[in-house]
Amino acid sequence: MAAMDVVSRMYECFNRADLDTIKNEIFAENIVWRLPGRHPLAGEKHGADEVLAFFHQLNKAGVAVTLENIAEWTDDIVVEVHRGKADLGYAAFDGLNCTHYHVRNGKITEVQVYTSDQYMLDDFFNKVYKYKPIPERLADE
């Protein structure tokens, strides 16, 4: 399957909340997903389970994603522009974002998201999700 088809299929599955197919057929087990920002969902996610936990939170927040443009740069690199939207009444966002994918052996291995309006996204996720109080939110050394 072409790299672009793998990424397109991931979006179809995400919008159907079909996380099992994403885990079993689309993501490499050791995937790394990077989302910029200063909010509870920002940062690097390591492994399919962690990325899918992140996706679950996006679904829970009513985030819908529509591919606007997708291009395969090389056999293993795909870049796309998507519109992300959510409106919970007390928090909303609507923005174009760009995402860079590495696909190897038919599976997504590495992802970097670039946002068009980081302040809007930070505001949305900081309204929807709260950090646990210290010390519960700090990792043990």
Cβ-proximal residues to 65 (8 Å cutoff; 6+ apart), any chain: 11, 14, 15, 82, 83, 84, 85
What domains can be seen in the chain, in order of their start residue?
Answer: 3-128 (3.10.450.50)
Are the CB atoms for 15 and 65 separated by under 8 Å? Answer: yes
Please state the φ and ψ torsions of residue 4, each to the nearest 5 degrees: -65, -35
Q: How does pLDDT run across 56-105, given as a tens digit for each residue? A: 999 899 999 899 999 999 999 999 999 999 999 999 999 999 999 999 99
Percent with pLDDT over 70 in the chain: 100
Residue 141 has pLDDT above 80, yes or no: no
Distance CA 59, CA 115 (A): 18
